[in-house]
């Protein structure tokens, strides 16, 4: 397991682009979690910690893609019907127990091994029936199959190794184990996989005004939404998230909670309390036990994201302090915390796929910062169009619900015309 470098979050510059921040994370952050071996059935959603090499060809033998008859192509009359005796039968899992000779047709079923043949006077096993006739294209009469002309040599035959070749690296370390990746591991015979243990993330909110949902709401108070957004996002990502509740705006309480959580977690994630206001004690609390840097991002909505290290007897634990405003939390989580979490978890950070779609709205934008506009996709004349959704403020959480994702406007854009092409980032690319 790797350790954080002393300067992994050091950043002295002024405004930083989102892409530069992500590149800095890519360069400085690697997996901090240990690995474990798990059964294939328990590997879903985990991150692979080894390359998986195929020890065999898949499929292991040439086999039939259809139910029908295996024949030698050279036996077929290209201009008229061919009649051949049906002299054997191979079903899936039951290879023919003898070589197949020219002049015969072997009844064969999907997945069954294509019979091998006898070549030459010495009786060596050599190439055999090379073509499979689909049963729908033939008729069987008194032990013979009648075949129409027109088939191509090699038809309906699957070749050994056409899916995977022995020695191929079929899965690379760092990939997230999805249904299809687990299926592929099984197809090369793997029973267990080495995976990274889940990243242990402690989450807390800060603020004297922030209350637990369900509690009474005194004047001036609000319910905590950020902690629930973040816990749900972390769980989606396969992290082991610990809910550490709400911390008041008090230095000593924040300092004690951070120190304790750092000893037993791989990452601390907070929201609120990290701007430069008098009541923002997170920075002082982290500085007392490590270091905290503010990454000022050219991003909207968003505020500086605080990234730091807390020294513990077992090495440093990273902390990411997100802004307090709920939409800014979502945007900074997706753009900064999510890459950080993936990298700490053993997964490379690859830019999510954005889709080029037409804009259904006009928009004026300040130059020099990247802006994420909540939008939903409607269909206009069969074509997807992004419509701005809801109100734009950084605190307007309801506008994320009903939006399908963000229109991602680059730093240099100042104006967006209706009908112009934009990059659309669906939530499904980053929140699943």
Q: Which parts of 246-275 interact with Mg ion (CB under 5 A)?
A: 272-273
Is residue 339 near ligand AMP by the rule CB under 6 A? no
Q: Quick one: which H or E segment has residue 380?
A: strand 370-380
Distance CA 416, CA 345 (A): 37
Q: How far is the CB of 329 from ligand AMP (least distance, A)?
A: 8
Q: Quick one: which H or E segment has residue 415?
A: strand 415-416
Q: Which parts of 273-292 interact with ligand AMP (CB under 6 A)?
A: 273, 275, 277
- Would you say 205 or 317 has its CB closer to ligand AMP? 205
Distance CA 224, CA 366 (A): 31
Q: Residue 98 has which token pair?
A: 């003898």
Choose one: 193-201, 321-329, 362-370, 414-422; the region binding ligand AMP (CB under 6 A).
321-329
Q: How far is the CB of 283 from Mg ion (least distance, A)?
A: 12
Is residue 272 near ligand AMP by the rule CB under 6 A? yes
Distance CA 309, CA 177 (A): 30
Query: How many chain residues are in contact with ligand AMP, going by CB under 6 A?
Result: 18
Using CB under 6 A, pick the residue from 224, 266, 293, 404 that binds ligand AMP. 224
Is residue 204 near ligand AMP by the rule CB under 6 A? no
Using CB under 6 A, pick the residue from 119, 225, 253, 291 that binds ligand AMP. 225
Is residue 198 near Mg ion by the rule CB under 5 A? no
Q: How far is the CB of 278 from ligand AMP (least distance, A)?
A: 11
Is residue 301 near ligand AMP by the rule CB under 6 A? no
In the chain the first and final C-alpha atoms are separated, in Å, by 26
Give the rounded distance of the alpha carbon of 170 from its chain centre: 16
Residue 96, CA distances (Å) to 59, 89, 93, 127, 259 in order: 17, 7, 10, 14, 69
Q: Which does 210 bind (CB under 5 to 8 A by kind): Mg ion, ligand AMP, none?
A: ligand AMP
Using CB under 6 A, pick the residue from 22, 64, 156, 226 that binds ligand AMP. 226
Name the one residue in this structure whose structure tokens are 């505020």. Answer: 303
Q: What is the DSSP letter of 398?
A: G
In sequence order, what E strands does 15-168 have?
35-39, 52-53, 63-64, 68-71, 82-90, 105-108, 117-119, 124-126, 131-134, 138-141, 144-147, 157-158
Choose one: 72-80, 81-89, 267-275, 371-379; the region binding ligand AMP (CB under 6 A).
267-275
Please name which of 403, 408, 393, 395 lies closest in space to residue 428, comparing C-alpha atoms: 403
**Contact string (CB under 5 A) for Mg ion, positions 202-241, x = contact:** -----x----------------------------------
Positions that interact with ligand AMP (CB under 6 A) = 205, 207, 209-210, 222, 224-227, 271-273, 275, 277, 323-326
């Amino acid at each position: 397991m790797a350790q954080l470098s002393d300067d992994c979050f050091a950043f002295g510059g002024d405004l930083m682009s989102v892409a530069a921040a992500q590149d800095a994370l890519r360069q400085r952050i690697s997996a901090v979690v240990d690995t474990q071996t798990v059964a294939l059935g328990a590997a879903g959603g985990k991150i692979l910690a080894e390359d998986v090499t195929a020890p065999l060809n898949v499929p292991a033998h040439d086999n039939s893609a259809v139910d029908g008859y295996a024949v030698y192509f050279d036996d077929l009359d290209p201009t008229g019907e061919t009649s051949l005796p049906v002299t054997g039968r191979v079903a899936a899992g039951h290879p023919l127990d003898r070589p197949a000779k020219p002049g015969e047709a072997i009844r064969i079923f999907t997945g069954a091994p294509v019979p091998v043949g006898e070549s030459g006077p010495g009786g060596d096993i050599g190439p055999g029936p090379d073509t499979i006739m689909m049963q729908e294209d033939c008729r069987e009469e008194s032990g013979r199959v009648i075949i129409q002309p027109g088939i191509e040599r090699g038809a309906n035959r699957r070749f050994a190794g056409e899916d995977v070749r022995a020695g191929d690296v079929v899965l690379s370390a760092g990939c997230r184990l999805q249904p299809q990746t687990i299926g592929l591991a099984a197809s090369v015979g793997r029973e267990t996989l080495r995976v990274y243990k889940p990243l242990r993330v402690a989450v807390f909110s800060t603020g004297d005004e922030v209350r637990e949902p369900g509690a009474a709401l005194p004047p001036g108070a609000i319910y905590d939404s950020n902690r629930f957004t973040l816990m749900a996002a972390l769980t989606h990502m396969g992290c082991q998230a610990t809910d550490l509740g709400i911390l008041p705006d008090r230095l000593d309480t924040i300092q004690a909670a951070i120190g304790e959580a750092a000893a037993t977690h791989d990452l601390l994630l907070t929201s609120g309390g990290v701007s430069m206001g008098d009541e923002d004690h997170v920075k002082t609390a982290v500085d007392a036990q490590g270091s905290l840097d503010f990454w000022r991002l050219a991003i909207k909505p968003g505020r500086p994201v605080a990234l730091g290290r807390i020294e513990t007897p077992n090495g440093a634990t990273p902390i990411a302090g997100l802004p307090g405003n709920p939409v800014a939390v979502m945007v900074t989580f997706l753009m900064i915390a999510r890459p950080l979490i993936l990298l700490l978890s053993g997964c490379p950070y690859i830019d999510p796929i954005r889709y080029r779609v037409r804009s259904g709205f006009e928009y004026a934008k300040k130059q020099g910062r990247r802006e994420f506009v909540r939008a939903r996709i409607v269909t206009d004349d069969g074509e997807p169009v992004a419509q701005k959704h809801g109100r734009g403020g950084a605190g307007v959480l309801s506008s994320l619900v009903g939006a399908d994702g963000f229109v991602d406007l680059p730093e240099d854009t100042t104006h967006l015309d209706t009908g112009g092409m934009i990059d659309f980032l669906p939530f499904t690319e980053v929140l699943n």
